[in-house]
Amino acid sequence: MARAGRKTRAVTILDIAKSAGVSKSTVSLVLKRSPLVREETRQRVAGAMDALGYVYNRGAASLRRARADIVGMVINDLSNPFFAELAIGIERALQNSGFVPFIANTAESVVRQAEVVRSMREHGAAGLILSPALDTDVAEISRLEARLPIVLAIRRIIGARASLVVSDNLAGATRATEHLIELGHRDIAFVGGVGRMVVFQDRVAGFTGAMEKARLAVEPARIIESMPTKDGGFDAMKRLLSSEGRPTAVVCFNDVVAIGAMLAIARHGLTVGRDVAVVGFDDTAEARHVSPALTTVSVDAGSLGERAAQMLLRQINEGERRLENYVGEARLVVRESCGATFKRRIAS
Amino acid sequence: MARAGRKTRAVTILDIAKSAGVSKSTVSLVLKRSPLVREETRQRVAGAMDALGYVYNRGAASLRRARADIVGMVINDLSNPFFAELAIGIERALQNSGFVPFIANTAESVVRQAEVVRSMREHGAAGLILSPALDTDVAEISRLEARLPIVLAIRRIIGARASLVVSDNLAGATRATEHLIELGHRDIAFVGGVGRMVVFQDRVAGFTGAMEKARLAVEPARIIESMPTKDGGFDAMKRLLSSEGRPTAVVCFNDVVAIGAMLAIARHGLTVGRDVAVVGFDDTAEARHVSPALTTVSVDAGSLGERAAQMLLRQINEGERRLENYVGEARLVVRESCGATFKRRIAS
DNA sequence: TGGGAGTATTGGAACGTTCCAAATACGGGG
DNA sequence: CCCCGTATTTGGAACGTTCCAATACTCCCA
């Protein structure tokens, strides 16, 4: 029961060749399904292969070919369901491409990010999908971009020349804010996210834009930053509520922040949707399952991931550089947390 | 701006050697931090490396060494936060091990699973952490197990001789059931999961065991199978509620099933915790955030993942076979969905 | 001044593929 | 029976490392 093939030299193309009575070159041709080899020999070789339990050695192959069939996916926070869905989308799109995804979770650490990117390069990754960690340096990206195909996902980095897959943050935040205004809210805050993130800037711009269009003032104190996590949202909301004159509605940076904020609101003895309207951003599965169900901006992480993967594959296959951008639609999904249904219920 | 290093031959150890005026062997020694090389040459070589922008080629290295620094993680459902947390735990434990994780999501398809396992073998993975898809064949596992280190995670497979990391499903389900019984419930159902999964069998055994110990009958109709997903839980609960004489409490196969079940209960006009008590299994982050908060059995997916990774590393490094088992503790976390707090509130 | 013990360094020979140019086989046609 | 074209097959020579045995170099002592 000791490990079999541990000491035994691995079965190689040469063993197959010998056993099938052909040359290694022929075996290689069979491997790549070349139409050059006669059907009969093909079968003989194939037979030898599974008789000997042959396992193709991709490492050796890509050594010769100078490029591996690996792509890296670098995710800044895999514990956020949004990014998990993104990862699944990428993985799904890669499925029949002949490429295999490496995954790494940087947990927002640029140091860790540099490590994993390096590791992926060392493994000969043909390309990278990168959802950059907070404070990622533009120079870092440019340096990378010069060396291998890379698509930036979700988080734009200003000044970076690289393909990009993001959602329409401006439009999404605008729509969410407008919705709250239509519901009659006048004092609205923006909660969560950190100022140096472009995503934050875009969403805040959407928020302020909509406010200004409705001739509503936005005090600086109505924009509260926090880490884009549940705890961050909780803390930010708590701060907001303990200051005097609380807003009647909040637009949250994303769903996890929103869920944290809802918790803080409840903890404060208030009711989400009645006392304070809440809207999120992302539409993760969780948004549907919290109570009250979260009104949020849907961006479909899964298909964003697929897009990113397809874009990367295109870039790998075409060989030369062509930057692409894809901005995914952001659709408002009205549920309960904004108070819309609540209002309706009262009206009837 | 065209891709630089695309056509240019990559910088190799030989280029470094020439530039630093040493032999390739010396460079190789520097690479592996050998104490054999003189400090001064070490620095010269290191200097040449980043002057030329050298990238280590792990593919070539592992070709020679006959084993790559890759481990595979095969996950049956990455969209379930439980497994996402498991994956993060694995990734975390691998972080300073010198091994890099490949990830694949099989989405419960044994066909897909066979594909990705094959691909990982082709890449020379040093070992595999496998959370097997539904209906995975024992023979398949045995075959694999004979070829490379592998640890089975979360889902046991009867008859498989392989290292194992699972949670204490029997004890967990027992505790959950006992808790409901202590709260006064007599008519309790078990909801979700599919009968041919060992995890299901274990949890049901815990459930029935606790019931029998309390001299309570368990009708076959009180054990409802379903896919271990939110929708599965929803459907199963709906079926259960539409039959006459509904139970006053349900033990759910896992958290996502429980959340689905809670949705069905609410949809049926009943209140979770008051009309029907619900307890889950896993204690994913979501459990805390649904409303009412889910009483559940905590198994700590993250640390289970870490364990699995450590076990795999041990197995890889030691060389010969030593099967290990780890059964993670299952702790009941009482929140609101079981009605305990509700009851208390009434009492006071 | 020769030798021995370290200490540093080095030149092949692998590792398992792919790629290329070249060789071979086979079938007719002249 | 030879030649030619088409269909198959084939032997190196890479690819970028690691490993091993062997060589240089230093220094010190007899």
Lowest mean pLDDT of A1-5, A326-330, B157-161, name the range.
Answer: A1-5
**Segments of chain B assigned to CATH 3.40.50.2300:** 68-167+301-329, 169-299+332-347
B91 part of contact set with chain A, CB < 8 Å: yes
B66 → closest Cβ in A10, A62, A81: A10
Residues from chain B contacting residue A263 (CB–CB below 8 Å): 289
Local confidence band at B321 (pLDDT 50, 70, 90 cut-offs): confident
CATH number assigned to the domain covering A169-300+332-347: 3.40.50.2300
The CATH homologous superfamily of the domain defined by B169-299+332-347: Response regulator (3.40.50.2300)
Q: How far is B266 from chain A (nearest CA, A)?
A: 11
Q: Do B58 and A6 touch (CB under 8 A)?
A: no
User: Please, what is the average pLDDT of chain A?
Assistant: 92
Residues 6+ apart with CB under 8 A from B25: none
B79 → closest Cβ in A6, A84, A112: A84
H or E element at residue A62: helix A58-65
Separation between the CA of B47 and the C1’ of C3 (whole angstroms): 38
Structure tokens at A2: 């000791």
| pLDDT for the residue A4 | 38
Q: Is the pLDDT of residue A344 over 80?
A: no
How confident is the model over B205-242, as pLDDT tens digits? 999 999 999 999 999 999 999 999 999 999 999 999 99
What architecture does CATH give domain A13-56?
Answer: Orthogonal Bundle (1.10)
Separation between the CA of B29 and the C1’ of C11 (whole angstroms): 15
Using CA atoms of A215, A220, A223, A224 in order, give the dihedral in degrees to the nearest 10. -160
Residues from chain B contacting residue A286 (CB–CB below 8 Å): 286, 289
Q: What percent of chain B has pLDDT over 70?
A: 95
Residues from chain A contacting residue B81 (CB–CB below 8 Å): 81, 84
**Segments of chain A assigned to CATH 3.40.50.2300:** 68-167+301-329, 169-300+332-347
Residues of A (281-300) whose Cβ lies below 8 Å from B? 285-286, 289-291
Residues from chain A contacting residue B70 (CB–CB below 8 Å): 123
| The three-state (H, E, C) secondary structure of B197-257, written as one string | CHHHHHHHHHHHHHHHHCCCCCCHHHEECECCCHHHHHHHHHHHHHCCCCCCEEEECCHHH
What architecture does CATH give domain A68-167+301-329?
Answer: 3-Layer(aba) Sandwich (3.40)
- C-alpha closest to that of B258 among B338, B157, B340, B178: B338
How confident is the model over B31-57, as pLDDT tens digits? 999 999 999 999 999 999 999 999 999
A84 part of contact set with chain B, CB < 8 Å: yes
The residue of chain A nearest to residue B102, with distances taken between CA atoms, is A102
